[in-house]
C-alpha cells in the first residue's frame, strides 16, 4: 500500500483510469468492501505509483479534497493492521487459490519511503504532500 479513499469521494471515476496497476475499484464492484458507497483502493495491489510516476497519479487526478489519503505501507510490519482491517471489513484483501489471503507476508508492495508515518497514521490528504 497504500493509499486509501475516504467517504469524501464523489465517485467521479477520474482516478481509476490513471492507476498503472489497476488498484482502484468503482463503488459497485463486488470486490469493493464499502458496499456501493464510494471508490476503493486495493492495498495489496497499490504501489503508490513507485516506478510509474513522481507522485500518486490517482491523487493528482482527484478533484475532491480529502478523498485520497495516506495509509500504512503494505509491508510485514503492518501485517496485523491489514489482517484486522480485513476481518473488520475496511479492506477486502484478495484470496489467492493456492497462497491464501494476500497479506503483506505473502506479497508486500512498494511505498514512498519519504512519507512520514505521522502522515500515514493520521490519514492525511495525499494532495497536500506534493
The residue ranges that bind ligand SF4 (CB under 6 A) are 3, 5, 9-15, 18-21, 23-24, 39, 41, 46-49, 56-58, 61-62, 64, 67-68
**Shortest approach of ligand SF4 to residue 124 CB, angstroms?**
14
CA atoms within 13 A on the CB side of 36: 0
Cell of 40: 476503493
**Shortest approach of ligand SF4 to residue 47 CB, angstroms?**
5
Q: Are 44 and 75 in contact (CB under 8 A)?
A: no
**Shortest approach of ligand SF4 to residue 114 CB, angstroms?**
14
**Which lies closer to ligand SF4 via its Cβ, residue 49 or residue 102?**
49
Amino acid at each position: 500500500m497504500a493509499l486509501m479513499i475516504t467517504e469524501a469521494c464523489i465517485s467521479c471515476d477520474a482516478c481509476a483510469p490513471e492507476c498503472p496497476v489497476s488498484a482502484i475499484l468503482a463503488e459497485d464492484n463486488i470486490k469493493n468492501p464499502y458496499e456501493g458507497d464510494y471508490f476503493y483502493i486495493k492495498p495489496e495491489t497499490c504501489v503508490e505509483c513507485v516506478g510509474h510516476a513522481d507522485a500518486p497519479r490517482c491523487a493528482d487526478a482527484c478533484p475532491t479534497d480529502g478523498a485520497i489519503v495516506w495509509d500504512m505501507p503494505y509491508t510485514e510490519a503492518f501485517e496485523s493492521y491489514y489482517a484486522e482491517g480485513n476481518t473488520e471489513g475496511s479492506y477486502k484483501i484478495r484470496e489467492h487459490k493456492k497462497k491464501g489471503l494476500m497479506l503483506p507476508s505473502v506479497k508486500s508492495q512498494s511505498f514512498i519511503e519519504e512519507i512520514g508515518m505521522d502522515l500515514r497514521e493520521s490519514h492525511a490528504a495525499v494532495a497536500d504532500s506534493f
